Amino acid sequence: MDKIARIDMGAVGGPKITVAGLGEYAGLGGRAMTSLVVAAEVHPLAHPLGAENKLVISPGMLSGTTGSMTGRLSVGCKSPLTGTIKESNAGGQAAQVLARLGYAAVILEGKPAGDDLYKIHISKDGIRVIVDNSLKLLDNYPLIEKLRMEYGDKVAYMSIGSAGERKLLAASIACTDPELRPTRHCGRGGVGAVMGAKRVKAIILDDSGMKMRPPRDPDRYRDANRKFVEGLRKHPVTGEGLPAYGTNVLTNVLNEAGGYPTNNFKTGQFEGGARISGEAQAELEIRRGGSATHGCHRGCVIQCSGIYNDKDGNYVTKQPEYETVWSHGGHCGIDDLDTIARLDYMDDNIGVDTIDMGVAIGVAMDAGLIEFGDREGAIRLMAEVGQGTPLGRILGSGAEITGKVLGVERVPVVKGQALSAYDPRAVQGMGVTYATGTMGADHTLGYAVASNILKVGGDVDPLGTEGQVELSRDLQIATAAIDATGMCLFVAMAIMDQPETSQAMFDMLSSHSGQTMTPDLFSELGKKVLAAERDFNTRAGFTKAHDRLPRFFYTDPLAPHNIPFLVKDEDLDRVFDWER
Q: How far is the CB of 333 from its own copies (least distance, A)?
A: 21
* Total residues interacting with its own copies, rule: CB under 8 A: 43
Which listed residue (18, 21, 26, 47) binds its own copies by CB under 8 A?
A: 47
Which listed residue (45, 212, 274, 383) binds its own copies by CB under 8 A?
A: 45
Q: Is 391 in the site for its own copies (CB under 8 A)?
A: yes
> Of the ranges 38-46, 320-328, 351-359, 467-475, which one interacts with its own copies (CB under 8 A)?
38-46
Which listed residue (197, 257, 346, 435) binds its own copies by CB under 8 A?
A: 197
Which of left, alpha, beta for 69 (phi over 0: left; psi -120 to 50: alpha)? left
Which listed residue (19, 22, 46, 131) binds its own copies by CB under 8 A?
A: 46
Contacts of 451 (CB under 8 A, 6+ apart): 429, 457, 458, 459, 460, 471
Q: Is 357 in the site for its own copies (CB under 8 A)?
A: no
Q: Is 193 in the site for its own copies (CB under 8 A)?
A: yes
Bridging pattern class, strands 200-205 and 118-123: parallel
Q: Does residue 60 contact residue 32 with C-beta atoms inside 8 Å?
A: no
Residues from 400 through 429 that contact its own copies (CB under 8 A): 401, 404-409, 411
Q: Is 264 in the site for its own copies (CB under 8 A)?
A: no
Q: Does residue 300 contact residue 68 with C-beta atoms inside 8 Å?
A: yes
User: Which of 149, 543 has the CB closer to its own copies?
Assistant: 543
Question: Which of helix, strand or coil describes residue 303?
Answer: coil
User: Which of 210, 405 has the CB closer to its own copies?
Assistant: 405
User: Which of 5, 360 has the CB closer to its own copies?
Assistant: 360
> Of the ranges 19-27, 45-53, 153-161, 318-326, which one interacts with its own copies (CB under 8 A)?
45-53
Q: Does residue 436 contact residue 272 with C-beta atoms inside 8 Å?
A: no
Q: How far is the CB of 432 from its own copies (least distance, A)?
A: 17
Residue in 303, 295, 284, 413 with CA at minimum distance from that of residue 359: 413
User: Which of 62, 197 has the CB closer to its own copies?
Assistant: 197
User: Which of 46, 463 has the CB closer to its own copies?
Assistant: 46
Contacts of 173 (CB under 8 A, 6+ apart): 75, 88, 90, 158, 159, 160, 164, 185, 186, 191, 192, 195, 351
Interaction mask 62-101, its own copies, x per CB under 8 A: ------------------x---------------------
Q: How far is the CB of 422 from its own copies (least distance, A)?
A: 22
Residue in 124, 114, 306, 308 with CA at minimum distance from that of residue 206: 124
Q: Is 226 in the site for its own copies (CB under 8 A)?
A: no
User: Which of 127, 193 has the CB closer to its own copies?
Assistant: 193
Bridging pattern class, strands 305-309 and 291-294: antiparallel
> Of the ranges 34-42, 84-92, 392-400, 524-532, which one interacts with its own copies (CB under 8 A)?
392-400
Q: Is 44 in the site for its own copies (CB under 8 A)?
A: yes
User: Which of 115, 312 has the CB closer to its own copies?
Assistant: 115
Q: Is 12 in the site for its own copies (CB under 8 A)?
A: no
Residues from 517 through 576 that contact its own copies (CB under 8 A): 539-546, 548, 550-552, 555
Q: Name the residue type at position 99.
A: A
Q: Is 359 in the site for its own copies (CB under 8 A)?
A: no
Q: Is 379 exposed, middle or buried (0-12, 13-18, 19+ CB in 10 A)?
A: middle
Q: Is 292 in the site for its own copies (CB under 8 A)?
A: no
Q: How far is the CB of 431 from its own copies (least distance, A)?
A: 15
> Of the ranges 2-10, 166-174, 281-289, 445-453, which one interacts with its own copies (CB under 8 A)?
166-174
Residue 494: half-sphere exposure toward Cβ, Cα within 13 Å: 30
Residue in 459, 443, 440, 461 with CA at minimum distance from that of residue 451: 459
Q: How far is the CB of 533 from its own copies (least distance, A)?
A: 16
User: Which of 97, 441 has the CB closer to its own copies?
Assistant: 441
User: Which of 124, 404 has the CB closer to its own copies?
Assistant: 404
User: Which of 90, 163 has the CB closer to its own copies?
Assistant: 163
How is residue 215 annotated by DSSP?
P
d(CA 126, CA 156): 16
Contacts of 66 (CB under 8 A, 6+ apart): 212, 221, 222, 225, 299
> Of the ranges 64-72, 191-199, 300-308, 524-532, which one interacts with its own copies (CB under 8 A)?
191-199
Q: How many CB atoms neighbour CB 125 within 10 A?
A: 9
User: Which of 115, 153 has the CB closer to its own copies?
Assistant: 115
Q: Is 302 in the site for its own copies (CB under 8 A)?
A: no
Distances (CA, A) of 505 to 222, 247, 499, 527: 11, 22, 10, 18
User: Which of 24, 115 has the CB closer to its own copies?
Assistant: 115
Q: Does residue 553 contact residue 565 with C-beta atoms inside 8 Å?
A: yes
Question: Which of helix, strand or coil describes residue 175?
Answer: strand
> Of the ranges 124-132, 236-244, 269-277, 390-398, which one interacts with its own copies (CB under 8 A)?
390-398
Distances (CA, A) of 410 to 194, 268, 386, 402, 564: 28, 15, 26, 11, 14
3-state DSSP: the chain helix, strand, coil percent, rounded to 5?
45, 15, 40
d(CA 523, CA 27): 16
Q: What angle do CA 202, 174, 472 make, to 5 degrees?
A: 135
Q: Is 168 in the site for its own copies (CB under 8 A)?
A: yes
Q: Is 180 in the site for its own copies (CB under 8 A)?
A: no
- Radius of gyration for the alpha carbons in the chain, expressed in angstroms and rounded: 22
Q: Is 360 in the site for its own copies (CB under 8 A)?
A: no
Q: Which residue ranges make up the site for its own copies (CB under 8 A)? A: 43-47, 49-50, 52, 80, 166-169, 193, 196-197, 389-391, 393-394, 397, 401, 404-409, 411, 539-546, 548, 550-552, 555
